[in-house]
A and B are shown apart, each in its own frame.
Chain A
Amino acid sequence: IAGITQAPTSQILAAGRRMTLRCTQDMRHNAMYWYRQDLGLGLRLIHYSNTAGTTGKGEVPDGYSVSRANTDDFPLTLASAVPSQTSVYFCASSLDSNQPQHFGDGTRLSIL
């Protein structure tokens, strides 16, 4: 089934550890995005990529990095996790930056 897949579904992580959240889409969408969703704050954009090989910073990029080596994959890395990064992380993609975004099922991350 075509769509966008995130892994892992959930994770508990010790502070200071490195963690990569995976995101893969098979819809040949050019644009991909990472958001975090926290209670009362809504979805906030972390990083985005309008096309393979390019990335940009969103509203809350500090402590996170991304890469876009190909069209399908857009991993998000926390170099040294901190408790304030406890959140639900959603990956999304769209055909281009003009089109509606489609979301993955999310990764629930707890940093202790």
Chain B
Amino acid sequence: GQNIDQPTEMTATEGAIVQINCTYQTSGFNGLFWYQQHAGEAPTFLSYNVLDGLEEKGRFSSFLSRSKGYSYLLLKELQMKDSASYLCAVRDGDYKLSFGAGTTVTVRA
């Protein structure tokens, strides 16, 4: 099976930066995804990493180190609307996606 770990909860202040870490152990690796999920809604795609390094998309960036089995999602200039759950998902050797339990980020004014 797959083992994907991320913190359960994080709290930060509006305008600040938050980094959500994700570590994984999988049988085969074909990419890592980050999704955002607001309470009661569907997950929405944020970012995708398949090679080592940093991918930047506006206020959100995602980093991957395949040798360390590690990724992080960086949220900059936090806004109240960023309060949500952030899901780390790894695609294994069979191209199936396994999700971590998610990190709930609360942004305070």
Contact = CB atoms under 8 A, between A and B. Distances in A.
A98 B95 contact: yes
B58 interface: no
Interface residues of B, number: 19
B42 A106 contact: yes
Interface stretch (B59-67, B76-84, B97-105): B97-105
B101 A103 contact: no
A40 B43 contact: no
B42 A41 contact: no
Given A48-B96, A59-B1, A100-B48, A42 B101 contact: yes
Interface string B37-68: 00001111100100000000000000000000
A98 B50 CA distance: 11
Nearest to A96: B95
Contacts of A101: 33, 45, 97
Majority DSSP secondary structure for residues of A touching B: loop
B4 to A, nearest CB: 8
Contacts of A45: 96-98
Interface residues of A, number: 22
Contacts of B97: 33, 45, 101
Contact of A42 (B1, B41, B44, B99): B99
A59 to B, nearest CB: 7
A98 B91 CA distance: 9
Q: Which residue, B42, B44, B100, has most C-beta atoms of chain A within 10 A?
A: B42
A50 B96 CA distance: 10
A35 to B, nearest CB: 8
20 contacts: A33-B97, A35-B99, A41-B101, A42-B87, A42-B99, A42-B101, A43-B87, A44-B99, A45-B96, A45-B97, A58-B96, A59-B98, A90-B42, A90-B43, A98-B30, A100-B48, A101-B97, A104-B42, A105-B41, A106-B42
A42 B102 contact: yes
User: 8 closest Cβ contacts across the A-B interface?
Assistant: A97-B95, A103-B42, A42-B101, A43-B99, A100-B45, A42-B99, A103-B43, A105-B42
